[in-house]
Chains A and B, each alone.
Chain A
Amino acid sequence: MTKLAFLLLMVTGAGCGRYAVRADEKEYLADRIMQADYDEMETANDQHVLTNREGAQGGYGAAGGGCGCN
């Protein structure tokens, strides 16, 4: 578990602190299919339903966390 968390942190942080991707390279990132919570209401409804049947909840991504595409 610790190794997995460390690996995730390293991968996620790999692009931090510099212009890893320029604005003119974000054509694909701008597509809605690259935004995990593009349909925020659907995401909310999903969480609403599932957390009523499962003991776990939380950990959701924060919608609006940018794809860096606009």
Chain B
Amino acid sequence: MRRLAFIMMLLGATAARAEDKVEVKAEYFTEPANKQALHVFHPAVGLNVDAHRDFSLNFAYDADVVSGATPRTYGAAMDAISSATHFSDTRHAFHGGAELRLGPAAVDAGYTYSFENDYRSHAIDVGAKVDLWGKNTTFRLGYSHNFDSVCDVDNKGAAPTERRSLGSSEGCFKNTVGLVEEPVAIDSYALSWTQVLTPIIVTDLSTTFQVIQGFQSNPYRRVLLFGTVEAQESEPLLRQRIAVQARLRFAVVRARGALGVLARFYYDTWGIKAGTAEITWDEWVHPQFLMRVRGRFYQQGRAVFYRDAGETLSYESVGPVGQYFTGDRELSPFRDYLVGLKLAWVRNADEHGKVLRWFEQMDLNLKADLIDYQPMTPLPPNQARDVGLVNALIAELGLALRW
């Protein structure tokens, strides 16, 4: 479901500031579990150009180079180590967009195409914002629609417990006999309100609503049912999700820093309720060096049809919940903690001239986040990745040049 995250990101990100900028980032994410490690390398590049005083163009490219191992079948009777299957894939995403500024208002639109071996996505996004009352208040609306398709085995007419899983992505999107392309339509709506409260406090309140219709299971994943039957994961074809987030930033002038707090509440029609709390501290430790420390807490409940393999009423014991069964860790109840540090070296043009002869500003930054997952059931999917104190690492190196 990373395409969903990507398009939701676009709802917020396409309203680029009116400035010429090129930015490059290289991110590495890993869950270094023994025998079930996951590695994701995520390079990204973005370019924003003011084509006219009131008109900007933006382009972006990013990729996910994913490799790792995961058990194909979820169930307590499965040997998670020996059944782990190695996989690798690369996703490419290209984005182009434009923003038109009309006095205190601005409108933007964009298109994104992404593809990988087993997934294709076309997405359009539009947005509008307006600054009011001396730019103390900003409202923004966003909408996007995805026309996606996912490769799957042709299981037409088969009962959920008889559905076969996809063995590999070979032959996908090539009209191969025995394979089909399942459609997924995603509508995302976003509304945001930013408010300056005092000369040192700014807040924002945002909400997003999303409707996903279509095949949302992992086509490769199987679930052990009744102790003997292995069937392709079966999840509902419709999911509606809503999230509300509030943020506040408070300038601590004496410390040349800013305190940020965030609270987010989430609910969806699969029954998942989640909450997020985050606190950040940004400080200019030197006129050219910026430091940020960050702490984040997240907790979610289970989807109504999730049954843990370590519990009495597991799929292995009593079968599907209605017609649904899943081995998706994202649908299990868990909490996670994140702590992170970011350092940035920011060099501005001054009386001695521009930075590197051309630029108004250069921003070189490095960050590292550590994550600890804490499952709230005995035997969730990919449990091997939850062992130990640090279960995941995010490292990122970035360079931004403005002119």
Interface residues, chain A, with chain B CB atoms under 8 Å away: 1, 5, 8-9, 11-23, 25-29, 31-37, 39-70
The residue that A65 contacts in the complex, of B140, B210, B367, with Cβ under 8 A, is B140
Tell me if A47 and B206 are in contact (CB < 8 A).
Answer: no
Tell me if B199 and A26 are in contact (CB < 8 A).
Answer: yes
The residue that B25 contacts in the complex, of A1, A5, A41, A66, with Cβ under 8 A, is A41
Residue tally, chain B, CB below 8 Å to A: 96
Give the chain A neighbours of B208 by CB distance below 8 A: 58-60
Given contacts A16-B136, A57-B4, A68-B131, 17 further A-B contacts (CB under 8 A): A20-B196, A21-B197, A33-B282, A33-B284, A51-B4, A53-B336, A57-B8, A59-B207, A61-B192, A61-B247, A62-B127, A62-B206, A63-B13, A64-B15, A65-B139, A68-B136, A68-B194
Tell me if A34 and B251 are in contact (CB < 8 A).
Answer: yes
Where chain A touches its partner, the secondary structure class is: loop
A25 vs B244: C-alpha distance when bound (angstroms): 30
Chain A min CB distance to B236 (Å): 14
The residue that A15 contacts in the complex, of B16, B196, B274, B398, with Cβ under 8 A, is B196
A63 vs B25: C-alpha distance when bound (angstroms): 18
Where chain B touches its partner, the secondary structure class is: strand
The residue that A58 contacts in the complex, of B2, B135, B210, B365, with Cβ under 8 A, is B210
Give the chain A neighbours of B140 by CB distance below 8 A: 62, 64-65
Q: Which residue of B lies closest to A67 (CB)?
A: B202
Give the chain A neighbours of B241 by CB distance below 8 A: 56-58
Give the chain A neighbours of B203 by CB distance below 8 A: 11-12
A69 vs B190: C-alpha distance when bound (angstroms): 23
Q: Does B318 contact A (CB under 8 A)?
A: no
Tell me if A62 and B11 are in contact (CB < 8 A).
Answer: yes
